[in-house]
Amino acid sequence: MDDKIRIVLERARNASYTARKLAEKYGYLPYMIERYIEMLGQDNVIDLLEANESPLPETIRCNDYLIDCNELKTRLEEKGFRLTPIPQFSRYGYRVDHAPISIGATHEYLQGYYYVQGASSMSIVHAMDLPVPGTIIDMAAAPGGKSTQILQMTRDKSLLIAVEKNPKRIKSLRSNIQRMRFSNYILLRKDNLSLDFSNLFDSVLLDAPSTGEGIIRKDPRRKKSRDILDLIKIHELQVKMLKKAIEFAKPGASIVYAACSLAAEEGEFVINRILEEYPEIEIEPHGLIASQAITEYFGLILDDRIKKCGRYWPHIHGYEGFFVCKLRKKK
Amino acid sequence: MQAKKEKMIRKASSLEKGLIDEFCASIGVEPSRCYSRLYVLDIRGAPFKDVFDPSPSVLSFLKNRLGWNAYSIGFYLGILGKNNFEPSLPLAHKLARLCPEKIKCVTLNSEGEKYFLYGKPVFGENIIEYNSLGPVLVENTLREALGWGILVLEDNTKYGRRLVLRPVKDLGWYLRKGG
């Protein structure tokens, strides 16, 4: 295990009285709260925990490959929906303020005119380089929000390789790509660690499997479902996958790493390990509205370049928690 | 119903091409309107095969990097059974613009659209126009594809002779079975 992670998690395991009380009040494991206090300070932690108690606002991404987004908005509003654009996340994004029926059950949805997708999630693809034509890989693609967005933004003209190893989840991925009427893709049901694609892709997306600490509002079970050992395992997996992503990228290509989590162990610490091992990797500004990533945590100082990475906080940005970082493999 | 296991992709045989061409003829369109290239995903032991129309870039990657092995590729045309071809929903979208002049099709009103998308039969009062009986592309009044159906004239003791559209595949599939 990485020494830094071991030190951090030992400190988090010894949760303070305050952390234990807050954990009891809000129903979390104490080590999680201890980490949030370390990142945010005590006052802001309450804001985060309160934000996590309110439902996640529903958002959609208009598929302008098939329909003008103003027309989609009008059609849905005629059916009683109320939509507000969220251009700070994506020029295709809308928050659903009122829904007379499930937003995932309209005829417009079946036509492929939109995708029900978190606001932070849909912003991630905007951090990517999307060359047209080009060859792009989405390494953990199901259920297909970001894959369909890549195909949308490249107008189905760049080849997308979408990888998913879970047999059930790849069915959703296939269904969503077909529903949204894209065709320039190959789906692989594989473990991405088993693939041999050296220096092949013009752009790489790794939205890594995570603890899901960023979507506690959607799934409150995540307040207690992952212990420290799970976090260590996930961190190690994320590092392995990001190394693979770097292998897949052509020299000069960018790699966007994202994780739907608030855990520094799944964000900043993953990037820190990569920067320690790969002198050919540099970090670039992601261009999103996300807050600056942290570089100091439980007394440990991380690589200063990590400041260029970003974090979405539920209590600051209003939607899912996410970590995002744009890396480039030097030529 | 599509491939459950990752299997080899190959060019369609002349027999398989014949089944697809037969389907295209049954809806009144030239095969060249339906597809450019025909590739089949074999699934060992399964009674069906997935059929695709992949782009040159998909084919090139598949050949050079994947040894013809993938889960799904490019434009999805439908499912080949032993003696039949079941068209896909993407194919319905692709051909929708040909309705009503160049393809056998039926147009439903909004009530008919609701029934159809629930996978239910649609009766004459909700059928606005049609140009043929038999296999048809199904559309709404905005000329948006809703799927595939079979249009028949049925004798009914209560209603007499009436038009009935029986769904073959409708967009509601994405919610019911799409995963």
pLDDT, tens only, A225-269: 888 889 999 999 999 999 999 999 999 999 999 999 999 999 999
* Dihedral sign, Cα of residue B14, residue B16, residue B17, residue B21: positive
Please state the rounded mean pLDDT for residues B81-99: 95
Task: Let me know if domain A120-329 sits in CATH 3.40.50.150.
Answer: yes
CA distances from A253 to A208, A247, A273, A281, A324 (A): 19, 11, 20, 10, 17
Q: CA-to-CA distance for A117 and A138, rounded, in angstroms?
A: 16
Q: In percent, how much of chain B has pLDDT > 70?
A: 96
Greatest C-alpha distance within chain B: 62
**Does residue B58 sit at the A interface (CB-CB below 8 Å)?**
yes
pLDDT level of residue A100 (50, 70, 90 thresholds): very high
Give pLDDT tens digits for B18-48.
999 999 999 999 999 999 999 999 877 788 9
Give pLDDT tens digits for A32-43.
999 999 999 988
Give pLDDT tens digits for A110-164.
999 999 999 999 999 999 999 999 999 999 999 999 999 999 999 999 999 999 9
Q: Quick check: A183 and B74 CB within 8 A?
A: yes
Give B160 or A66, the one with higher predicted confidence. A66
Please state the rounded mean pLDDT for residues A267-276: 97
Pick the closest to residue B80 from B30, B21, B25 (CA basis): B21
Q: In percent, how much of chain A has pLDDT > 90?
A: 93
A134's tokens: 């080009």
Q: Identify the weakest region by mean pLDDT among A97-101, A111-115, B57-61, B155-159.
A: B155-159
**Does residue B35 sit at the A interface (CB-CB below 8 Å)?**
no
| pLDDT of B40 | 96
- DSSP state, B2? -
CA angle (A180 as vertex; A176, A184 as ends), nearest 5: 90
Task: Let me know if domain A59-117 sits in CATH 3.30.70.1170.
Answer: yes
- DSSP state, A294? P
| pLDDT of A1 | 65
CATH topology identical between A59-117 and A120-329:
no
pLDDT level of residue B179 (50, 70, 90 thresholds): low
β-sheet with B105-108: strand ranges across: B122-123, B160-170, B145-156, B134-139, B105-108, B127-130
Chain B residues with CB-CB distance to A184 below 8 A: 55, 57-58, 74
Please state the rounded mean pLDDT for residues A48-63: 97
Give pLDDT tens digits for A206-226.
999 999 999 999 999 999 988
Query: Residues of A at the B interface (Cβ-Cβ below 8 Å)?
Result: 104-105, 107, 110-112, 133, 135, 159, 161, 167-172, 174-179, 181, 183-190, 197, 200
Arithmetic mean of pLDDT over chain A: 96
Nearest CB to B174; choose among A168, A179, A190: A179
User: Nearest C-alpha of chain A: how many angstroms from B172?
Assistant: 7
Instruction: Read off φ and ψ for residue A219, nearest 5 degrees.
Output: -140, 85
| pLDDT of A12 | 83
Q: CA-to-CA distance for A235 and A181, rounded, in angstroms?
A: 35
- Angle (deg, nearest 10), helices A42-51 and A30-40: 120
Please state the rounded mean pLDDT for residues B49-75: 95
Please state the rounded mean pLDDT for residues A75-99: 98
Q: CA-to-CA distance for A168 and A147, rounded, in angstroms?
A: 17
| pLDDT of B3 | 46
Give B64 or A8, the one with higher predicted confidence. B64
Nearest CB to B72; choose among A111, A159, A174: A174
* CA-CA-CA-CA dihedral for A303, A308, A311, A317, to nearest 10: 150
Question: What is the model's pTM?
Answer: 0.96
A283: helix, strand or coil: strand
Domain ranges of chain A: 59-117, 120-329
Q: Quick check: B178 and A104 CB within 8 A?
A: no
Residues B138-142: contacts with CB under 8 Å, at least 24 apart = B138/B92, B138/B105, B138/B106, B138/B108, B138/B165, B138/B167, B138/B170, B139/B96, B139/B99, B139/B105, B139/B106, B139/B107, B139/B108, B140/A107, B140/B107, B140/B108, B140/B110, B140/B113, B141/B107, B141/B108, B141/B109, B141/B110
| pLDDT of B158 | 85
